[in-house]
Structure 1
Amino acid sequence: MSDIYDGDVYRSMLTQIQLNKTNLLLTLMMNVDGVAIGNNTEESLWIITFTLNEIKRSERFRIHNVIIGSVCSCYKKPNRKLMQFLLKPIVEQLKQLQ
């Protein structure tokens, strides 16, 4: 497998969408990454980004094709509970778009 297009789940969803010609399939890849603000502190910035898988791979990750979902400043690396808190509103909004 070299891209999402090669996966069984993606192919199955695409087949179902093609049977119902009124729907369009758009899938997102979510990335979360953090960067330290300074050398002598645990403070960091965390960014949540999305890319559309339907954009060809060579173009998908270019800055003008990346969607910024959130930017968060933290006093230390977020633990699982904080990350769930940060992601919850994004997940809820994506569910509404589904």
Structure 2
Amino acid sequence: DAQEALVGSSGQIMCRTETPVKDCQWSWRLFNQTEQRNLEVKKFPAFGPDNKDCSIKFKNVLSEQEGLWTCGARSESNGTFIQAKPIRFFVSE
């Protein structure tokens, strides 16, 4: 999946789960990064009806936020995060 936003605009990357989850995690890396390791950016409790929403919002999109964003979710506090397929987030001037 891919999403696009303008620099300075607000944007959102959707991530919803089929079953209720406890925690959400977002990680990021550059498009052309050869190393597969992601940088953890944000971790927060799931929200929305039945705790199935892990979407993130950007109030003011920056060009540096362009890249591959990966959503993870876990159903137990000390469980392992299950990662979704990375989302390509494009930022245009």
TM (norm. structure 2) is: 0.30
- Greater relative contact order (Cα < 8 A, sep 6+): 2
The structure that has the greater radius of gyration is: 1
TM (norm. structure 1) is: 0.29
